Amino acid sequence: MRAEYITCLSVAITLVTDVVAMLRHPDVWVGFPAGYLLAALMGGMALLTALVGWRIHRTTRAIGLPSAQHRWIRAIGISLVGVIILALYPENAIQSIPGAILTVLVGILLFFTSVWAWSIAITPSLETPGEDLIDDLAALYRWLKSHTGRFSAFFTTCEQVLGSSFLRPIVKGVLVGYAFLAKPLGLCRHDSNNNRRNEHSVQEG
């Protein structure tokens, strides 16, 4: 359910950023047949996204997830700040390599922050997350690197490639996205000991 909601939210937020870009540059599309076609396609995509989100809401409304007002206020506030940043962001920043990298990172941060805020508001998690997939992969990576002997140089090469100036923004984007969406998507593994203690306390009460 959370994955379906987040998919719709991702599409909706992407459409909002496209609308902001079109409003910043009306001279590029207003008065042109292709521009009106683009506007029609975006409107159709927005309608389709709304219909899919409504369908998901109808399917899952019986679950009755709790909602807190401050989550909605936070989501709306983050979205408004994001729209303002997109509307005022200097376009000449992409003319240099550091500026282009900064622009990518700002876009990644705004996107995942908005998706995270709205996903938490719509589908709040009732559980406390513990370790997650990243912890398991990190432990497996350390074990492989320490037990592969001379082949461990392969892992060192991979680390150097991932740390290159070309891939570093992509890796950071993936990690930022995972950090924001691991909990809403339910990717964290929950502490079974705490669950057993809670169940035992309930039985004693």
Is the pLDDT score of 101 beyond 70? yes
**What pLDDT, on a 0 to 100 scale, did the predictor assign at position 203?**
44
**What pLDDT, on a 0 to 100 scale, did the predictor assign at position 41?**
94
197 within a domain of the structure (yes/no): yes
- Average per-residue pLDDT for the chain: 77
**What pLDDT, on a 0 to 100 scale, did the predictor assign at position 51?**
92
175 within a domain of the structure (yes/no): yes
94 within a domain of the structure (yes/no): no
Q: How far is CA 192 from CA 131, 159, 180, 202, in A?
A: 11, 34, 23, 15
What are 28-50's pLDDT values in tens digits? 899 899 999 999 999 999 999 99
Question: Per-residue pLDDT averaged across 124-151, rounded?
Answer: 63
Burial class (CB in 10 A: 0-12, 13-18, 19+), 202: exposed
Highest mean pLDDT among 40-44, 162-166, 169-173: 40-44
pTM: 0.62
**What pLDDT, on a 0 to 100 scale, did the predictor assign at position 89?**
92
**Torsion 83-88-91-92 (CA) sign:** negative
Range of the domain at 163: 127-205
How far is the C-alpha of 35 from the C-alpha of 8, rounded, in Å? 25
How far is the C-alpha of 135 from the C-alpha of 117, rounded, in Å? 24
Q: Find all residues with CB under 8 Å of 23, minimum gap 6, and list them.
A: 87
How far is the C-alpha of 186 from the C-alpha of 3, rounded, in Å? 9
Question: Per-residue pLDDT averaged across 156-176, rounded?
Answer: 71
Of all residues in the chain, the percent with pLDDT exceeding 90 is 26
How far is the C-alpha of 96 from the C-alpha of 14, rounded, in Å? 25
Q: How far is CA 42 from CA 10, 16, 24, 48, 80, in A?
A: 14, 10, 16, 10, 20
61 within a domain of the structure (yes/no): no
110 within a domain of the structure (yes/no): no
* Stronger pLDDT, 51 or 124, i.e. the higher one: 51
153 within a domain of the structure (yes/no): yes
Question: Per-residue pLDDT averaged across 120-138, rounded?
Answer: 61
Query: Considering its fold, how many domains does the chain have in total?
Result: 1
105 within a domain of the structure (yes/no): no
133 within a domain of the structure (yes/no): yes
Q: Torsions phi, psi of 186, nearest 5? A: 70, 30
